[in-house]
């Protein structure tokens, strides 16, 4: 989305806004110039997980350096920086210290948040409700609304986001892994329903006997599994029953997480966002059906923007000191 001159998010600020959205399938950076004009966008590498934790701090610094080199005029004066990244709460040693370091290095107020926060800000703006973000992983998050939660220590509430081994139910890695499990069951002769997925798996990874060596040794395993989710969706699109069941299951799991995050004390608004939403009506219809089955009072809305838009909103809120930190969610 290209913003016109006079974007209200930079109006009255002393410099440009920078937002970063980091995930297992890739990263993006946007600069919103204070002087107006179109925003600048940069694509970057996926976040990897290794023995020392997440590569997010390195990716953040590399992308910021690249942006400042590419657009020195737009980044010469910054009003605020907002960063949303997966795995911050569990795979980065000290997110608060990272935020402090980045603020000092950049000379500008900086906030970092789990990617669910920026997904929420992108999808709902400052309104209350819950957002389910389906990307490489899956996480649901709710907030009562900025006006209602000013200064609240427990405003943000999350469900899932525990990674592809323990959770991320309904996300890309979850769907890709289940697709490969069905393919392996067909290969073993246990359940031939996964035959079409076995064919897709061979096309992507080669001989099934080689799949464990290809997947178990990868530091970016979640991203690789999420890439196969596209194949599962494609097989489902051709009417394969097993693949259709998996895609519908993803929608239902997303709905369950979203409703759990919403609870009974938040505005009854729910939004499904993230790259996997592109799977189409098979997933989104199952999501809506599960929501209606459990909570007929909940309204399902369209996302106002994506997580990158949310990271720019986080930068603006940080620049105006309008959004306080909350352990496990936002650090500044």
Do 91 and 204 lie in one domain? The reply is no
Do 185 and 234 lie in one domain? The reply is yes
> Please, what's the b/e burial string for 286-295 (b: 16 or more CB within 10 A of its CB; e: otherwise)?
bbbebbeeeb
Determine phi and psi for 119, rounding to 5 degrees: -65, -40
Tell me the C-alpha to C-alpha distance, in Å, between residue 148 and each of 80, 151, 243. Answer: 24, 9, 42
pLDDT bucket at 3, cuts 50 / 70 / 90: very low
Residue 149 has pLDDT above 60, yes or no: no
The string of pLDDT tens digits covering residues 216-259 is 988 888 889 999 999 999 999 999 999 999 999 999 999 999 99
Tell me the C-alpha to C-alpha distance, in Å, between residue 126 and each of 79, 146, 246, 317. Answer: 20, 5, 34, 10
Do 289 and 310 lie in one domain? The reply is no
Tell me the C-alpha to C-alpha distance, in Å, between residue 130 and each of 46, 66, 149, 159, 181. Answer: 26, 34, 14, 10, 31
Do 48 and 149 lie in one domain? The reply is no
Identify the H or E element spanning 123: helix 115-124
Instruction: Write down the pLDDT at residue 1.
Output: 34
- Total number of domains constituting the chain: 2
pLDDT more than 90, % of the chain:
61
SS3 (DSSP) at 69: helix
Residue 18 has pLDDT above 60, yes or no: yes
Q: Which residues contact 85 (CB under 8 A, 6 or more apart)?
A: 20, 21, 22, 23, 47, 54, 56, 60, 92, 112, 113, 114, 115
Do 326 and 235 lie in one domain? The reply is no
| Alpha-carbon dihedral sign for residues 271, 122, 233, 48 | negative
Instruction: Write down the pLDDT at residue 313.
Output: 93
Do 291 and 160 lie in one domain? The reply is yes
Do 224 and 133 lie in one domain? The reply is yes
- Is 263 a domain residue? yes
Residue 7 has pLDDT above 60, yes or no: no
pLDDT bucket at 178, cuts 50 / 70 / 90: very high
Tell me the C-alpha to C-alpha distance, in Å, between residue 7 and each of 32, 173, 201, 313. Answer: 9, 36, 46, 12
**Spatial contact of 171 and 226, defined as CB atoms under 8 Å apart:** yes
Instruction: Write down the pLDDT at residue 38.
Output: 79
Least reliable range by pLDDT among 8-17, 29-38, 164-173: 8-17
CA-based nearest residue to 148, from 168, 172, 129:
129
Average pLDDT value over all residues in the chain: 88
- Is 7 a domain residue? no
- Is 11 a domain residue? no
The string of pLDDT tens digits covering residues 55-94 is 888 889 999 999 999 999 888 889 999 999 877 766 677 8
Structure tokens at 107: 């000379």
Residue 194 has pLDDT above 50, yes or no: yes
CA-based nearest residue to 138, from 37, 290, 275:
275
The string of pLDDT tens digits covering residues 263-318 is 999 999 999 998 888 888 999 999 999 999 999 999 999 999 998 999 999 999 99
- Is 6 a domain residue? no
- Is 10 a domain residue? no
- Is 288 a domain residue? yes
Instruction: Write down the pLDDT at residue 8.
Output: 58
Do 22 and 110 lie in one domain? The reply is yes
CA-based nearest residue to 112, from 60, 180, 73:
60
Range of the domain at 51: 16-125+304-331
Instruction: Write down the pLDDT at residue 175.
Output: 97
Residue 152 has pLDDT above 80, yes or no: no
Question: Rounded to an integer, what distance in angstroms lies between the CA atom of residue 254 and that of residue 128?
Answer: 18
Tell me the C-alpha to C-alpha distance, in Å, between residue 119 and each of 78, 86, 132, 140, 178. Answer: 23, 11, 8, 9, 25
- Is 5 a domain residue? no
**Residues pairing with 114 in the sheet:** 85
Residue 52 has pLDDT above 90, yes or no: no
Instruction: Write down the pLDDT at residue 4.
Output: 36
SS3 (DSSP) at 300: strand
Do 183 and 203 lie in one domain? The reply is yes
Do 165 and 78 lie in one domain? The reply is no
The CATH number given to whatever domain includes residue 93 is 3.30.420.40
**Spatial contact of 253 and 283, defined as CB atoms under 8 Å apart:** no
Residue 5 has pLDDT above 60, yes or no: no
Question: Rounded to an integer, what distance in angstroms lies between the CA atom of residue 300 and that of residue 271?
Answer: 6
Do 67 and 181 lie in one domain? The reply is no
Determine phi and psi for 152, rounding to 5 degrees: -70, 135
Instruction: Report the relative pairing of strands 40-44 and 49-50 from DSSP bridges.
Output: unpaired
Do 210 and 262 lie in one domain? The reply is yes
pLDDT bucket at 183, cuts 50 / 70 / 90: very high
CA-based nearest residue to 70, from 98, 31, 15:
31
């Amino acid at each position: 989305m290209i913003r016109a001159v006079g974007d209200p998010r930079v109006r009255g600020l002393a410099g440009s806004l920078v937002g970063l959205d980091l995930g297992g399938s890739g990263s993006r950076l946007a600069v919103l110039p204070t002087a107006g004009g179109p925003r600048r966008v940069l694509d970057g590498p996926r976040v990897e997980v290794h023995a020392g934790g997440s590569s997010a701090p390195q990716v953040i610094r590399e992308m910021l350096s690249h942006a400042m080199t590419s657009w020195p005029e737009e980044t010469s004066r910054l009003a605020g920086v907002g960063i949303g990244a997966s795995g911050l709460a569990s795979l980065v040693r000290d997110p608060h210290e990272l935020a402090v370091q980045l603020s000092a290095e950049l000379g500008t107020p900086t906030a970092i948040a789990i990617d669910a926060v920026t997904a929420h800000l992108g999808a709902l703006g400052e309104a209350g409700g819950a957002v389910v973000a389906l990307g490489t992983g899956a996480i649901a998050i709710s907030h009562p609304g900025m006006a209602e939660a000013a200064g609240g220590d427990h405003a943000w509430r999350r469900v899932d986001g525990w990674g592809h081994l323990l959770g991320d139910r309904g996300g890309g890695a979850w769907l890709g892994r289940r697709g490969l499990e069905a393919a392996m069951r067909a290969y073993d002769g246990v359940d031939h329903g996964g035959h079409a997925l076995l064919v897709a798996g061979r096309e992507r990874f080669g001989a099934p006997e080689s799949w464990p060596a290809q997947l178990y040794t990868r530091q970016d395993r979640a991203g690789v599994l999420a890439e196969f989710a596209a194949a599962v969706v494609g097989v489902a699109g051709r009417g394969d029953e097993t693949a259709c069941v998996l895609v519908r299951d993803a929608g239902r799991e997303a709905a369950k997480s979203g409703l759990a995050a919403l609870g009974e004390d938040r505005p009854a608004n729910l939004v499904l966002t993230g790259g996997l939403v592109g799977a189409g009506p098979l997933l989104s219809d199952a999501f809506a059906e599960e929501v209606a089955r459990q909570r007929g009072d909940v309204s399902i809305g369209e996302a106002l923007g994506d997580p990158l838009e949310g990271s720019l909103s986080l930068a603006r809120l940080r620049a105006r000191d309008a959004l306080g930190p909350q352990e496990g969610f936002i650090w500044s």
